[in-house]
Amino acid sequence: MKRYEYETLCVAEPAPGVATLTLDRPDTLNAMNTRMLGELLDFFAGMYVSSEEIRCLVLTGAGDRAFCAGGDLKERDGMSDDDWRRQHALGEQAFKAVVDCPVPIIAAVNGVAYGGGCELALLADFGYAAGDARFALPEVTRGIIPGAMGTQMLPRACGVRRAKEIVLSGQPFSAQEALSWGIVNRVCDKNRLLSEAVATARHIAENAPIAVREAKKSLDMATQMDIRSGYAYELAAYNRLVPTEDRLEGVRAFNERRKPRFQGA
């Protein structure tokens, strides 16, 4: 895997085809400052251009207290309106790049996930949470609203009525509530959270990479199209896979009763 040089992010490869991206500002509960937003944009824009070495990504936070506490309000204190807008514009591009990431992203929420941190977890394809993780979208208590796709992604996860309760009250909720509402897929023992997320990522990384990417895109379309248009998208993706070497290898491996060796071709 290529070497990444970041100040606020740490990239590692715990298994073949699997990368972990760690938000690495534990002294600030991994709050997103301008530097982190720029580095998130750089990383995910790079994934969009070239991600052959990474087949699945696990996103987590450094330390045992927080996944991400949201925007760095200490940095923002005293910002002019123009500076605030410029910083947020950088974040907007970073969050769009996360959504456009061609490989699956699993959020491993290891603690507090407030504001933009909660939204970042929602931008992942799915997520696991530590038992003591806490979530909140408290922006209305600070005079703003979620601005990292929270009002778009949260209703897709838990429904509009639950999303309204969460956003309009600004109140925190537990990992178990996040699980019961469909916001995370699994609650894990804190000491096993990352290993369980990486284990799932390994299963994904072992599958045919082109098929995984096409399936991810088709699933994303499910909430954006009527069912017939979505099915047309699915069939177009399906037919793009028919001439691939991985499709042939999958059939051969099944008939030869062995594990397939997918090459992404």
Give catalytic residue positions.
119, 139
Rounded distance, CA 207 to CA 217, Å? 16
Rounded distance, CA 248 to CA 122, Å? 35
125 within 8 A of 216, measured Cβ to Cβ: yes
Beta bridge mates, 20: 12, 58
Rounded distance, CA 32 to CA 23, Å? 8
Phi, psi of 57 (to 5 degrees): -125, 135
The residue ranges of DSSP E strands in the chain, in sequence order, are: 9-15, 18-23, 56-61, 66-68, 105-109, 112-114, 126-130, 134-136, 173-174, 186-188
Q: Which two tokens stand for residue 134?
A: 């806490």
Phi, psi of 264 (to 5 degrees): 75, 35
Rounded distance, CA 81 to CA 264, Å? 47
Q: State how far the alpha carbon of 187 is from the alpha carbons of 14, 181, 196, in Å.
A: 21, 12, 10
Rounded distance, CA 22 to CA 62, Å? 6
Q: Which of 174, 27, 181 is nearest to 113 (CA)?
A: 174
